[in-house]
Amino acid sequence: MLKQLSLLITSALVLSGCGTVDDLINDTVNDVASGDVTTETIAAENKVLIINNVSLTACVIIKNGLINDNDFSDAKTLVTELGVTCATYGKEAGVSGELDTVCVEQSLAEWLEEDNNEDIVTLEQAEGDKACVIGGDI
């Protein structure tokens, strides 16, 4: 019986292709990085920053830098697939640096130009296939 179950699982993985396995791994990594933070959690925050094309490590460094600089208090991070926008979280996109801006969408290169972080030396070091969404209080 155990052999049949193993054969069935192996067959399912082979037939579904490596993409399914990669997707499962990617989802697991995102879940571990985000913890219990969801789209709804971010939508409830007063301030949101979305940076696309970021590696998981760079997302953590960016969040820690924002907390250390007192840009965010009680910051929460959601690591998700590319393509999310301020509208995803029920917010209107604004311009970085303006006092009344609630949500900012930036590329990694834009963020590095504005908020130079000594832990991220080059753009190539921080690039990845995630969207880093940080929400918190102003």
How far is the C-alpha of 135 from the C-alpha of 48, rounded, in Å? 4
For the chain, give the number of residues. 138
Short-list 48, 47, 50, CA closest to 59: 50
- pLDDT of 117 reads 60
Backbone CA torsion sign across 121, 125, 127, 132:
negative
Output the tens digit of pLDDT for each of the chain's 138 residues.
445 434 444 444 444 445 554 444 344 444 445 567 889 999 999 999 999 999 988 888 888 888 777 778 788 989 888 999 999 999 999 887 776 789 999 888 888 877 656 667 677 888 999 999 999 886
What's this model's pTM, rounded to 2 decimal places?
Answer: 0.72
Where are the domains positioned within the chain?
1-34, 35-137
- pLDDT of 27 reads 46
CB 112 within 8 A of CB 126: yes
